[in-house]
Amino acid sequence: MQLFFQHLINALQWGSFYALIALGYSMVYGILMLFNFAHGDIFMVGAYIGFGVATALAALAAMSALALPNWLILVLTILIAMYLTSFVGMLVERIGYRPLREAPRASAAITGLMIGIILETGNLAILGAQRIRFPSLIKTSVYDIGGVVVTNKKIMIVVVSLVLMLALNEFIRRTRWGMAMRAMAFDYVVIPLMGVPLNTIASLTFALGSALAAAAGILFAVAYPVLDPYIGITYGWKAFVAAILGGRGSVKGACLAGFLLGFIEIFVGAYLSSSLRDLIAYSIILLILVFRPHGFFGEPHSAKLRL
C-alpha cells in the first residue's frame, strides 16, 4: 500500500508538468483554433531563461551585502522568468501566427514546427551543445512519512503548480479579460465585431500560456536539473496529447488530463513494464479518445463556422 502511495506522489509531480504545459496548448487551441507546436520549445526557453535569471540573482546575492535567501531567489526566478517568457510567447504570436491568421490551419501548424526548430537550434548556436546544470537553489530535505518518501521539492512543485492553475482559472472566470477570452473561444469571427480586439486577446493568450510554460520549465529544472535544448520536444508532444484529451479550450480538462497522463505513465512504468511504458500509456489514451473524441470537457464545435 505504501508502495502505491509512493507511486502516487511520484505521479503527482510528473503530472504537474504536463498539466502546466497542456494549459498553454489548450488556451491557444480554444481561442484561435490553432495548434501552437512551438509551445514545447517555449517550455524549454522558459527553463533556460530561468537558468539565466537564477544564475544572475545568485551572483548578485553573492557579490553584494544584500543577502537574498535561496528560496527568495527561486521565487523571484519563477516570477521574472514567467514575465520574460510571456514576451517570447507574444513575439512568436506576432511574427509566426498573426500574418497567417487567414491562411489555412495547416500552414500555421507548420509555422509552429518551424519556430520550434528555430528556438532549439538558436539555443544550440548561442549556448552550445553542452548540457547545463540548473543551480540547486533549495537544499533537498527528504521526509519519510510511514514508508512514503517525499522531498520539499516535490511538495513545492505540486503546490506551486496547483496555485498557478487555480489562479488561471480565476482569471478566466472572474475578470473582464478572461471573459473576453472565453467569448473569443466561442467564436473568433463574430466577437471582434462587437469590439473585443482579437489581436490583444491573442497576445494575452500566448503570454499567459508561455508564462505557465516558463513556470513548468523552472519547476522541471528544479526536479531534473540537467537542461538541454531539446527537452521541450517530448514533453511538448505529450502535453499536447493532454490538451486534446482534456477538451478544446478547457482549463479544467487540460489540468485533469495532464495529471492523468502523469498517472498513467508512472503506473504503467511501475506495475506493467518500464520499457513498454509509452507504448502502453499512449495506447490507453488513444482508446479513451476513441470513446470521447472531444476529450473530457470539449464540446463538438460547429464545422460550418470554421471552414
Partner 1 sequence: MRKGLLLVVLILVVGLALSPCAWAKAKTIKVGINAPITGDIPKVGEGSKYAAEMWLEDIKAAGGLEVGGEKYMVEVIVEDNESKPESAAKAATKLITEDEVLAIVGPQASSQAIPAGEMANNYGTPMISPWSTNPDTTKDRPFVFRGCFLDPFQGPVVANFIKDEFGFQKAAVLYDIASDYPKGLAEVFKEAWEKLNGAGSVVAFESFTTKDADFSSQLTNIINSGAQFLFTPQYYNEVALIVQQAQELGFKGPIVGSDSWGSAETVKLCGEACYGLFFSTHYAAAGATGATKEFIERYEKKYGYTPDDVGALTWDALRIVQTAIESTGKLTGDLEKDRMAVKDALANIKEFDGITGKMTFTPDGDPIKCAVIVRISEKGEFEFYKSACP
Residues forming contacts to partner 1 in the complex (CB under 8 A) are 3, 6-7, 10, 13-14, 124, 128-131, 133, 136, 140, 142, 144, 149, 151, 153-154, 220, 223-226, 228, 230-231, 234, 265-267, 269-270, 274-275, 277-278
Paired strand residues for 227: 132
Coil, strand, or helix at residue 129?
A: coil
Name the nearest CA neighbour of 263 among 6, 10, 5, 1: 10
Residue type at position 232 = G
CB of 160 to partner 1, least distance (A): 17
CA distance 213 to 203: 15
CA distance 257 to 295: 9
Coil, strand, or helix at residue 21?
A: helix
42 and 24 Cβ atoms separated by less than 8 Å = yes
CA distance 16 to 80: 20
CB of 15 to partner 1, least distance (A): 11
CB of 159 to partner 1, least distance (A): 17
Would you say 125 or 166 has its CB closer to partner 1?
125
CB of 201 to partner 1, least distance (A): 34
Would you say 140 or 283 has its CB closer to partner 1?
140
CB of 168 to partner 1, least distance (A): 24
Residue type at position 144 = D
Would you say 168 or 261 has its CB closer to partner 1?
261
Would you say 84 or 257 has its CB closer to partner 1?
257
Grid cell at residue 166: 487555480
- CA dihedral over 222, 35, 255, 189, signed as positive or negative: positive
CA distance 212 to 201: 17
CB of 240 to partner 1, least distance (A): 16
Would you say 151 or 169 has its CB closer to partner 1?
151
Would you say 64 or 274 has its CB closer to partner 1?
274
- Ramachandran angles phi, psi of 245, nearest 5°: -65, -35
